[in-house]
Amino acid sequence: MMCYLLNIGSVMLPYGFDLPPQLNNRPRLFYREHELYHRWGGRRVLVNEEVVALRRHLREIGELVRLAQQWSQRPAVALVDGTLILWTLEGKPPDFRREILSRFLKAMDNLRQLGVPVAGYISSPGSTDVINALRVGLCPYPFANCDRCEWLQRNESPPCAIIEGVTDAQLFERLLKPGERSALFASNSQILSEYGDHRVHFFYLHAGLEIARVEIPQWIAENDEWLNLVHAVIYDQAQKGRGYPVALAEAHEQAVVRGAERELFYEMLEAALVRQGMKVSMTFKLMAKRTPTI
């Protein structure tokens, strides 16, 4: 039997209201045939880890929509851990890309209609979007063309090599003070050409103990009130979480499937298979995972 489990953790933290925090997890087991296969270039193929990760991302965004619909008071900010850019869809078959994108963009439309700005928080980013722009500025040619660079052809270091290996976070660590954010930048990822008004912009924020990358859709980047609200909420959350947004940290805790819970799941699955008269066996790899060695 093949199956996979997605457990989505969520936290709602009301401020300024006499309401308790809401901590939830929503596990779901996927085992039906239509849940284990998907359309891929006109063919029906079995899901893999990459597809499961994308489906988890869709469920996380969907959970934010559900919480936003419940929250009648305003203002509010929806935070997701990680990027809003579905990088892995680049180069994928059109039918698969269309399916994932349509569901993702529909959720973003819902958040926009509800008036709830959404942001992706990336801790310890290793991206170099801004650095790459600076490298172009250091290039002596009218148009940068690394394939025809005379320095590289002579096996010499080109002028742009002076900042090679530097990340955006390292740059803004020197430029920003705690609580400050950088200017807004627009990502040039190819997949964003299909995002419409949800095309992703980003800024860097000195969260106190680290430089974080914060991604937002275009409709927030063009709204100063929402942009400032996202900035203020994320920085405040990072202070409450000692360097990392407390809402995201608590949501992670809600999503963790611990050892005892995993063992109970295996036992329930085995019992269900036995009741159906099916033979149950265990691979050596799985047996090693379930048997402590110390």
Q: What tens digit of pLDDT does each residue of 203-225 get?
A: 999 999 999 999 999 999 999 99
208 belongs to a structural domain? yes
| Mean predicted confidence (pLDDT) in 256-271 | 74
Please check whether residues 229 and 83 belong to one and the same domain: yes
Least confident of 92-96, 210-214, 268-272: 268-272
Q: Are residues 49 and 150 in the same domain?
A: no
Q: CA 254 from chain center: how many Å?
A: 17
- 275 lies in a domain? no
Residue 42: count other Cβ atoms within 10 Å of its Cβ. 9
> Phi, psi (5° rounding) for residue 247?
-65, -40
Residue ranges of E strands in 179-236: 185-186, 200-206, 211-217
Query: Do residue 212 and residue 89 come from a single domain?
Result: yes
Task: Say which residue, 266 or 229, is predicted with more confidence.
Answer: 229
* The predicted structure's pLDDT at residue 284: 41
Q: Residue 279 — pLDDT band, cuts 50, 70, 90? A: low
- Whether residues 16 and 155 share a domain: the answer is no
Looking at the structure, tell me whether residues 115 and 34 fall in a common domain. Answer: yes
Same domain? For 20 and 40 the reply is yes
Give 157's pLDDT tier (boundaries 50, 70, 90).
Answer: confident
Query: Does the pLDDT at position 288 exceed 80?
Result: no
Place of tokens 């997701």: 80
Please report whether residue 193 resides in a domain. Answer: yes
Query: Domain for residue 184, yes or no?
Result: yes
Position 102 scores a pLDDT of: 95
Segment 44-54 mean pLDDT: 86
User: Mean of the pLDDT values across residues 263-272?
Assistant: 75
For residues 5-32, average pLDDT: 87
pTM for the model stands at: 0.85
216 inside domain = yes
Is 272 within a domain? Answer: no
Q: Assess whether pLDDT exceeds 90 at residue 101.
A: yes
Q: Are 107 and 221 in the same domain?
A: yes
Is residue 109 domain-shared with residue 211, that is, in the same domain?
yes
Q: Are 69 and 187 in a shared domain?
A: yes
| Contact (Cβ atoms closer than 8 angstroms) between residue 209 and residue 246 | no
CATH number for the domain harbouring residue 229: 3.30.2170
Same domain? 120 vs 58: yes
> Does 267 reside within a domain?
no
| Least reliable range by pLDDT among 3-12, 40-49, 257-266 | 257-266
Structural domains in the chain (count): 2
Based on the fold, state whether residues 38 and 139 are members of the same structural domain. no
Residues 6+ apart with CB under 8 A from 28: 5, 6, 7, 59
Element (H, E) at 35: helix 33-36
Which of 118-132, 252-266, 279-293: highest mean pLDDT?
Answer: 118-132
Residue range 104-114: mean pLDDT, rounded: 96
The reply to whether 114 falls in a domain is yes
pLDDT at residue 282 in the model: 56
The domain in which residue 160 lies consists of 128-166
Residues 86, 132: one domain? no
pLDDT of residue 257: 77
